[in-house]
Amino acid sequence: MDSRVLIYEKDGGIAWVTLNRPDVLNALNMAMRDELWQVLHALHDDPDVAVAIFRGAGEQAFSAGADISEFGTAPSVVEARRARRERDLWGYMLAIDKPLIAAIHGFALGAGVELSMCCDLRIAAEDARLGLPEVSLAYIPSAGGTQLLPRTVSPGLAMGLILSGDAIDAQEALRIGLVQRVVPRQRLYAEAEALARQLMTRGPLALRYAKEALTQGLDLPLAEGLALEARLARLVLASRDAREGLRAQQEGRAPQFLGV
């Protein structure tokens, strides 16, 4: 897919998803949401895609959030809610079992930072500014921000960011754990690709189940989370991936210690 608002490209197992409205700081409008819905299904179903990287076109922003020019343009509140319920974009993105990486530069605000939190790993350029400014518009984050942020950083920090609406820079985002890495702007996509290719050297089933154990376990009591981990570990150990990993260990091509 190469359209006006979204670019979808594949390169050797990596899918690059580019938000392509640089003239409005890659604000997410309904057309972009519709195309993201299609792209997310493609990511989920395509066996040739191992990892996806999300980025924003232009020099100024990953995404400045939802396109407020479309606010209130739905035929009715009922119709707007029905459309969101039938197409739970962010819920579907969170359920994708392949690793997702956000390569963030410039502004990542509102739905832009919420989209990045639906990814598993976030790399920020030094010029990145991240925040949830919805309260300044007499609104609240509604693309998962109130739930994802306190699951990503501490609840107290999340409360401060959401209630103030203030944006933070890349180094502060790194300090509080909102991003995992900060790199020079000119290295952003190369670093994201290097991380994606590193992930592709890992067992795909192990990546899938490790992600499932972590994301689902967060909402479980500890005993149930440990049971989930044990069940998924048994599935991995019974797989061809594990047998190939064991062979690599025996041949000295992989680490010799494993926490089992």
Same domain for 81 and 113?
yes
State residue 62's pLDDT score. Answer: 98
70 half-sphere exposure, CB direction, 13 A CA radius: 13
Same domain for 212 and 107?
no
Residue 134: active-site member:
yes
Positions in the chain short of pLDDT 70: 1-3, 71-86, 240-260
Same domain for 229 and 172?
no
Same domain for 32 and 74?
yes
State residue 169's pLDDT score. Answer: 98
Same domain for 41 and 120?
yes
Whether residue 48 contacts residue 10, with contact meaning beta carbons closer than 8 Å, is answered with yes
Q: Which amino acid is located at 195 in the chain? A: L
- Residue 75 falls within a domain, yes or no? yes
DSSP secondary structure of 28-40? B-HHHHHHHHHHH
State residue 70's pLDDT score. Answer: 74
Exactly one of 35, 134, 193, 229 is catalytic; name it.
Answer: 134
CATH number (domain holding residue 93): 3.90.226.10
Exactly one of 35, 114, 193, 229 is catalytic; name it.
Answer: 114
State residue 91's pLDDT score. Answer: 94
Q: DSSP 3-state assignment of 14?
A: strand
Same domain for 94 and 217?
no
Residue 114: active-site member:
yes
CATH number (domain holding residue 212): 1.10.12
- Residue 1 falls within a domain, yes or no? no
- Domain span including residue 30: 6-200
Rounded to whole angstroms, the maximal C-alpha distance in the chain is 64
Same domain for 30 and 92?
yes
Structure tokens at 141: 């984050």
Phi-psi region of 65 (alpha: psi -120 to 50; beta: other; left: phi over 0): left
Q: How many domains does the chain have?
A: 2
105 half-sphere exposure, CB direction, 13 A CA radius: 19
- Residue 257 falls within a domain, yes or no? no
Structure tokens at 160: 């401060």
Same domain for 182 and 151?
yes
State residue 203's pLDDT score. Answer: 87
* Residue environment code for 82-91, b if the CB has 16+ CB neighbours within 10 A, otherwise e: eeeeeeebbe
Same domain for 37 and 102?
yes
